[in-house]
């Protein structure tokens, strides 16, 4: 987060170089995957590797315009509000230094008074059980997310989910840890950077079962819509590192669309379908591409590719024969 106060020339330069917003799909510079646009914070993350691009497209930082006469005092607000801190980072903490506002040290009587104030300040800020609950849960979310390498936007979502669960009184009777893990699990799925339950079990302090239960519970109560991803979304990130022709990629797309029309897609893993489509398309365009290669690029087993690609061709043939 950059809070530096820029000089006016720097600001002009920045505005001049800001790209006009483009609607076409962008590709990740790291892996060639699609860039998602749908995050509330405005981050754009790679759907494949989770790379976060320009984190603060919507800058919640300080505003640049001075609103009063004092031109040097442009900074009117503090750090951006975040859901990751239990008080959203908005509360004030009494400093630890025994100095007054002018930097002079204060006498011992005032000093002990300040100590008492600090004690009460701390008590009030974490005053009820909800706050303490949140504080602990958000700490856990943070810890697990970094252990699993989940992007910051994902942690924000997890924090938001947890807050909603807390607001809806879904927590009594369930462990904080399980709910926190479940929130993160759901958030990871919504951000297209899913991790297996086993992975969460390894970084969480609770077993897999309570996590699963907690997740089912909150996803039902909160209506967390994790819509199954469209296999088409996976196409480019699988196809581009393989260097197949435009023609093949187009046909892979076509195969998926016809299969979708025939209802062959429901319940199947989208990544597997996309991989199969790439392989099938390579066959149709006579490009040398082994199942093994596609399998590695897509992180899908060769078995799955085999089964799916036969179904895709079947669906394609079925439509072609009518």
Partner DNA sequence: ACCTTATTCTATCGGAT
Partner DNA sequence: ATCCGGTAGAATAAGGT
Interface residue with DNA among 197, 203, 222, 229 (CB under 7 A) is 197
Q: How far is CA 95 from the centre of its chain?
A: 34
290 scored as a contact of DNA (CB under 7 A) = yes
Is the CB of residue 58 less than 8 Å from the CB of residue 49?
A: no
3-class DSSP assignment, residue 99:
strand
Region binding DNA by CB under 7 A among candidate stretches 43-51, 129-137, 162-170, 264-272: 264-272
Handedness of CA 15, 18, 19, 25 (dihedral sign): negative
- Whose Cβ is closer to DNA: residue 133's or residue 291's? 291
Q: Cα(147)–Cα(141) distance, rounded to whole angstroms?
A: 10
119 scored as a contact of DNA (CB under 7 A) = no
Say how many residues touch DNA, by CB under 7 A. 28
- Secondary structure (H, E, C), 187-239: HHHHCCCCCCHHHHHHHCCCCHHHHHHHHHHHHHHCCCCCCCCCHHHHHHHHH
Interface residue with DNA among 31, 203, 222, 269 (CB under 7 A) is 269
Interface residue with DNA among 292, 314, 317, 318 (CB under 7 A) is 292
- Whose Cβ is closer to DNA: residue 197's or residue 232's? 197
- Whose Cβ is closer to DNA: residue 94's or residue 226's? 226
213 scored as a contact of DNA (CB under 7 A) = yes
13 scored as a contact of DNA (CB under 7 A) = no
174 scored as a contact of DNA (CB under 7 A) = no
146 scored as a contact of DNA (CB under 7 A) = no
* Residue 33 vs residues 3, 235, 311, 318: alpha-carbon distances, Å: 31, 9, 25, 31
Interface residue with DNA among 105, 245, 301, 319 (CB under 7 A) is 301
Interface residue with DNA among 76, 99, 216, 250 (CB under 7 A) is 216
- Whose Cβ is closer to DNA: residue 141's or residue 294's? 294
3-class DSSP assignment, residue 278:
helix
- Whose Cβ is closer to DNA: residue 103's or residue 267's? 267
56 scored as a contact of DNA (CB under 7 A) = no
3-class DSSP assignment, residue 84:
coil
Is the CB of residue 179 less than 8 Å from the CB of residue 165?
A: yes
- DSSP E strands in the chain: the ranges are 35-36, 44-46, 52-53
Q: Which of 320, 315, 173, 185 is nearest to 255 (CA)?
A: 315
272 scored as a contact of DNA (CB under 7 A) = yes
- Whose Cβ is closer to DNA: residue 41's or residue 193's? 193
- Whose Cβ is closer to DNA: residue 159's or residue 271's? 271
Region binding DNA by CB under 7 A among candidate stretches 35-43, 53-61, 143-151, 266-274: 266-274
């Amino acid at each position: 987060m950059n809070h530096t106060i820029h000089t006016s020339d720097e600001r002009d330069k920045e505005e001049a170089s800001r790209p006009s917003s483009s609607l076409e799909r962008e590709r990740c510079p790291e892996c060639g995957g699609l860039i998602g646009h749908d995050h509330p914070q405005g981050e754009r993350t790679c759907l494949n590797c989770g790379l976060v691009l320009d984190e603060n497209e919507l800058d919640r930082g300080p505003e640049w315009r001075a609103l009063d006469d004092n031109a040097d005092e442009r900074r009117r607000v503090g750090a951006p509000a975040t859901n990751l801190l239990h008080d959203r980072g908005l509360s004030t903490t009494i400093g630890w230094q025994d100095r007054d506002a002018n930097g002079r040290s204060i006498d011992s009587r005032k000093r002990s008074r300040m100590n008492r104030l600090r004690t009460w300040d701390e008590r009030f800020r974490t005053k009820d059980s909800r706050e303490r609950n949140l504080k602990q849960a958000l700490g856990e979310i943070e810890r697990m997310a970094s252990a699993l390498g989940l992007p910051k936007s994902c942690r924000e979502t997890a924090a938001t989910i947890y807050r909603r669960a807390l607001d809806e009184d879904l927590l009594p009777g369930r462990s904080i840890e399980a709910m926190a893990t479940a929130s993160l699990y759901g958030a990871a799925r919504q951000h297209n950077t899913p991790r297996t339950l086993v992975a969460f079990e390894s970084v969480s302090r609770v077993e897999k079962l309570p996590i699963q239960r907690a997740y089912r519970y909150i996803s039902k109560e909160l209506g967390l819509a994790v819509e199954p991803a469209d296999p088409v979304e996976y196409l480019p990130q699988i196809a581009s590192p393989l260097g197949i022709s435009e023609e093949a990629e187009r046909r892979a797309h076509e195969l998926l669309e016809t299969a979708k029309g025939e209802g062959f897609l429901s319940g199947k893993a989208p990544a597997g379908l996309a991989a199969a489509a790439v392989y099938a398309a390579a066959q149709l365009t006579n490009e040398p591409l082994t199942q093994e290669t596609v399998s590695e690029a897509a992180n899908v087993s060769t078995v799955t590719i085999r089964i799916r690609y036969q179904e895709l061709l079947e669906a394609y043939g079925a439509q072609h024969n009518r």
